[in-house]
């Protein structure tokens, strides 16, 4: 493919604004997704909500030269708030309910975004999710199953966002900037870093009700800015320069069609590279969702940190993942521009960093016992290396089918999001009788096995070549697509048909 040189802008490029909005989109999506992990610690009476007979965390972790106050030492504000007698299994249902909805909506989300536009899809999702978050305290006070239903619908709406984001990236990201645009999805990591310390402080000073209300209000304010600044494609944006529009158009010539078509689901499900992507996404999201939903509980109830420090320390690995992800994304773009490796070799080789190494570090974490500093360091390094997913599984949907990147990513995310359902149930089951370090070591071993097995599967069966079902038949059989060496696509299409 011929790489088109980027024009020298006289002002801020519109695609840079789109990048910022994509980054903040995933940031606020994770704020609405991960808030429950920390809020639940304050909502549940720790003396009654766990069947474990121990009154103190098994590990009393030091913080600096002082001892962290345990979860029984709480502020006057938190003592005056209503708490609930929910056992670990019910808590697992509360945490997992989001992912039930998320799982269901991911499959059709890409087609929805491709049909009605990613801008509108994201706007509707955030508006309704934010409003439902505002009603979180009311739902909890009525019945836990009403809160579960509330979180289920928020997850249903949240599942629309990532496929829509990939639709936008397919329309806005030139090939030489693909890694940079994929790195915008790491706003999710900053969302966790931003949310947990913020909510920890809010809960300590204002109570857990205000944690719900803060997330809902911020989500609504962000949605207004999204509607103002984002359009579905460069051709629709009122502020873009003709030079930038032409640069993006020429860079994407032949790979992205303006014609709306039904995703070729049969071809996708019969594609081995598509399944390799799904398996890699499953492993990736197991590591992310496990630490997201259970990390604060581990920090608080096992290592002995209070809510304020729990939010900060549990968020550190996500900050490391974001920073590392930007670096890996830049390296990936450089490799593509200089042609040091083929795209397929790039995706497969960096799977060592995004999946294999994080799995090994989870195993290493089990060797340090209650040494809280080493636990934090190893968990942080594990997610930092997972930042390489920006140039492995997170980019692969764009490789295989630019025209259906949203649909393909939605399918992969649908498979991967089952981990958000499974992992809280696993944690709840293993810690229902005793919430100690041995139980958590088993949980970390399971996570390591999933990481490594999924990484090896991707390395064996993945591809980064555009698949023949990305194109309409007339594109393959009638004309050579401008700027793209599509030798062999006609034969592949006929074989597939």
pLDDT tens column, 390-420: 889 988 988 898 888 888 988 998 888 888 7
Rounded Cα distance between 156 and 166, Å, is 18
- pLDDT for the residue 213: 97
| Residue 46 pLDDT > 70 | no
**Confidence tier at 103 by pLDDT (50, 70, 90):** confident
Helix then strand then coil, % of the chain, to nearest 5 = 75, 0, 25
Residues of the chain above pLDDT 70, percent: 82
The alpha carbon of 253 is separated from its chain's Cα centroid by a whole number of angstroms, namely 29
- Same-domain check for residues 22 and 162: yes
**282 in a domain, yes or no?**
yes
Phi, psi of 67 (to 5 degrees): -95, 130
- Same-domain check for residues 324 and 201: no
Number of domains making up the chain: 2
Q: What is the mean pLDDT of residues 297-324?
A: 74
- Same-domain check for residues 359 and 464: yes
**101 in a domain, yes or no?**
yes
- Same-domain check for residues 289 and 193: no
**Confidence tier at 274 by pLDDT (50, 70, 90):** very high
Provide the residue range defining the domain that includes 367.
262-476
What's the longest Cα–Cα distance across the chain? Answer: 74
| Residue 69 pLDDT > 80 | no
- Same-domain check for residues 223 and 92: yes
Q: What is the mean pLDDT of residues 354-367?
A: 93
**406 in a domain, yes or no?**
yes
- Same-domain check for residues 221 and 116: yes
**451 in a domain, yes or no?**
yes
For the ranges 152-156, 182-186, 340-344, the maximum mean pLDDT occurs at 152-156
**Confidence tier at 256 by pLDDT (50, 70, 90):** low
Residue with tokens 């599942």: 159
Q: Mean pLDDT in the chain? A: 81
Which residues are registered as beta bridge partners of 66? 63
- Same-domain check for residues 226 and 273: no
- Same-domain check for residues 212 and 290: no
- Same-domain check for residues 229 and 293: no
Q: Residue 152 belongs to a domain with what CATH number?
A: 1.20.1250.20
Phi, psi of 474 (to 5 degrees): -65, -30
What is the pTM assigned to this prediction? 0.72
Q: Per residue in 215-227, pLDDT tens?
A: 999 999 999 999 9
- 70-84, 141-155, 319-333, 367-381: least confident range: 70-84
User: Cα angle at 101 between 82 and 86, to 5 degrees?
Assistant: 25
**222 in a domain, yes or no?**
yes
Rounded Cα distance between 387 and 194, Å, is 18
| Residue 473 pLDDT > 80 | no
- Same-domain check for residues 317 and 224: no
């Amino acid at each position: 493919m011929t790489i088109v040189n980027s024009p020298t802008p006289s002002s801020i490029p519109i695609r840079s604004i789109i990048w910022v909005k994509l980054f903040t989109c995933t940031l606020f999506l994770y704020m609405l997704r991960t808030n429950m992990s920390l809020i639940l610690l304050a909502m549940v009476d720790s003396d009654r909500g766990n069947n474990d007979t121990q009154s103190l965390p098994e590990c009393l972790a030091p913080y600096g030269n002082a001892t962290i106050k345990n979860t029984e030492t709480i502020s006057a504000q938190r003592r005056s708030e209503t708490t609930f007698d929910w056992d670990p299994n019910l808590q697992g249902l509360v945490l997992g309910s989001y992912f039930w909805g998320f799982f269901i909506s991911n499959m059709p989300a890409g087609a929805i975004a491709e049909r009605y536009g990613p801008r509108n899809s994201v706007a509707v999702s955030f508006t309704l999710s934010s409003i439902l978050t505002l009603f979180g305290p009311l739902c909890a006070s009525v019945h836990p199953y009403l809160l579960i239903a509330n979180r289920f619908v928020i997850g249903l709406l949240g599942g629309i966002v990532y496929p829509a984001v990939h639709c936008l990236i397919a329309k806005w990201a030139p090939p030489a900037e693909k890694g940079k645009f994929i790195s915008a999805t790491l706003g999710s990591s900053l969302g966790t870093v931003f949310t947990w310390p913020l909510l920890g402080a809010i809960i300590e000073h204002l109570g857990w009700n205000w944690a719900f209300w803060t997330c809902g209000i911020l989500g609504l304010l962000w949605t207004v800015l999204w509607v103002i600044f984002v359009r579905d494609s460069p051709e629709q944006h009122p502020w873009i320069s003709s030079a930038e529009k032409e640069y993006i158009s020429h860079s994407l010539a032949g790979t992205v069609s303006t014609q709306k078509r039904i995703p070729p689901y049969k071809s996708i499900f019969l594609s081995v590279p598509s399944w390799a992507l799904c398996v890699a996404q499953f492993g990736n999201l197991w590591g992310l969702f496990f630490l997201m939903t259970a990390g604060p509980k581990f920090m608080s109830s096992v290592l002995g940190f209070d809510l304020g420090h729990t939010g900060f320390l549990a968020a550190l690995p996500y900050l490391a993942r974001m920073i590392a992800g930007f670096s890996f994304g830049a390296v990936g773009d450089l490799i593509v521009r200089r042609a040091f490796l083929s795209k397929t070799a790039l995706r497969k080789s960096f799977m060592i960093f995004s999946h294999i190494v994080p799995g090994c570090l989870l195993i290493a974490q089990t060797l340090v016992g209650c040494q809280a500093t080493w636990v934090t360091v190893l968990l942080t390094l594990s997610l930092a290396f997972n930042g390489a997913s920006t140039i492995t599984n997170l980019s692969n949907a764009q490789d295989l089918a630019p025209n259906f990147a949203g649909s393909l990513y939605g399918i992969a995310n649908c498979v991967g999001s089952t981990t958000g359902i499974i992992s809280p149930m696993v944690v709840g089951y293993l810690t229902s009788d005793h919430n100690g370090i041995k139980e958590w070591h088993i949980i970390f071993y399971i996570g390591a096995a999933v990481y490594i097995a999924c990484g090896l599967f991707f390395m064996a069966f993945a591809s980064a070549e555009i698949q023949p079902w990305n194109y309409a038949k007339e594109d393959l059989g009638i004309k050579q697509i401008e700027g793209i060496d599509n030798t062999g696509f006609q034969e592949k299409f006929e074989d597939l048909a």
